Amino acid sequence: MGSWRWYTAGESHGPGLIGIVEGVPAGIPISREAINADLARRQKGYGRGGRMAIERDQAEIWGGVRHGLSLGSPIALLVKNRDYENWKDTMAPDPAPSDREVTRPRPGHADLVGGIKYGHRDLRNVLERASARETTMRVALGAVARAFLRALGVEIGAHVIRIGAVECERRDYTLEEVRRSEDSPVRVVDRGIEPQMIAAIDEAKGSGDTLGGVVEILAFGLPVGLGSYVHWARRLEAGLGAALLSIQAFKAVEVGSGFAQTETPGSLVHDPIWWDPEQGFTRASNRAGGLEGGMTTGMPLVVRAAMKPLSTLMTPLGSFDIRSKEPFLAQVERSDVTAVPAAAVVAEAMVMHVLADHMLDKFGGDSLDEIRERVRRWQTYVHEF
């Protein structure tokens, strides 16, 4: 990590989730209402399971903010788990008899390998941290990144373009269209395809199965030149890929037209450069997804990420007990049929963390006013280049 550093701690059924983000400049407007709005977005979506009926995630700000503005010091957040009331004995930090032990690893989860790696004979020690419940804090801290980016004129949105075999049109979406997807239970722009996605989810639920999908994240208003071509780790694609693939159940990432470029002639892949007195240098199309040579071009950033079907099935797959070595059907914890609409919000947060880091790397500064002035001068330079 660079200048924007953040960490999360906590377990799925523990007392709560804790997050700290460091590197936030002073003077950024931060509100609990904005953070909680993003947390509520993460909990929405057709196909969610019983946990979302229990939790009503609310963030508490424990440091780094005074009177609605960041102080320049680390910002600390807490989100309590309401379900902890039912798990106090099981998740007690003090020595206690073990209960609700998990000895049957679930295929597709971290259970077995995590148990082997850390020496846990009760696999609950693995699944409690490996759970996607941890993404709650990623989103809460992501709302801080959103506030920073928004103060610099950058807006980010995400929507669903595929659930199971049902896919909407892949085209250049506007920020207004993406925002309208918030009114869809499957977070899709094309409301005509919404019933098909809902029907696919219902069918999977009826058969005890799960569905994956693809989400698209877009960023508008990015300056030219974030990232770099000079070293592999400084290429913006590198950070985006690592961040998105760190999300539980995410398996693939593409920028712009991505995988489709492998079957398309170069003449239909690359974006012609255009110049006029009003805009300066720009592109006639955006098949590159706003990135060339590891750097932003000034066009909208377009990144897609693929999520596999959730591993916890109501009709479980075969497994073996780690103690008795007897075959069993895998142990079932609460699960969703699909979490793709919610995962779009998590993916959005991860992209915002990466972009916040690159904005600080490019422009530096300790306060919002200082960074704004540096961005303004840079934009003038770029326009006059």
CA dist 346 and 38 (Å) reads 9
Residues 259 and 269: beta-carbon distance below 8 Å: no
Chain mean pLDDT for the chain = 94
* C-alpha angle 332-336-341 in degrees, rounded to nearest 5: 155
Query: What pLDDT score was predicted for residue 97?
Result: 86
DSSP secondary structure, 326-339, as one string: -EEEPP-----S--
Amino acid identity, position 308: K
Fold classification of 5-384 is Chorismate synthase, AroC fold (3.60.150)
Band of pLDDT at residue 73, cut at 50, 70 and 90: very high
CA dist 319 and 109 (Å) reads 12
**Which residues on neighbouring strands pair with residue 69, listed in sequence order?**
29, 66
Which strands form 301-307's sheet, in the order they lie side by side?
166-167, 155-163, 213-220, 301-307, 250-255
CA dist 329 and 315 (Å) reads 9
Maximum Cα interatomic distance, the chain, rounded to a whole number of Å? 74
Query: What pLDDT score was predicted for residue 1?
Result: 46
Taking CB atoms within 8 Å and a gap of at least 24, the contacts of 319-322 are 319/104, 319/105, 319/106, 319/107, 320/104, 320/105, 321/103, 321/104, 322/103, 322/104, 322/105, 322/112, 322/115, 322/121, 322/123
Residues 259 and 214: beta-carbon distance below 8 Å: no
Give the residue-averaged pLDDT of 348-358: 98
- Burial call 197-221: b when 16+ CB within 10 Å, e when fewer: bbebbeebbeeebbbbbbbbbbbbe
Per-domain residue ranges for the chain?
Answer: 5-384
Tell me 123's DSSP state.
T
pLDDT tens digits for range 194-241: 999 999 999 999 998 999 999 999 999 999 999 999 999 999 999 999
pLDDT tens digits for range 128-154: 999 999 999 999 999 999 999 999 999
Band of pLDDT at residue 336, cut at 50, 70 and 90: confident
Q: Residue 162 CA to chain centroid, in angstroms?
A: 16
Sign of CA dihedral 165, 169, 175, 179: negative
Residue 342: how many other CB atoms lie within 10 Å: 25
Higher-pLDDT residue of 210 and 315 is 210
CA dist 110 and 115 (Å) reads 8
Tell me the whole-structure pTM to 2 decimals: 0.95
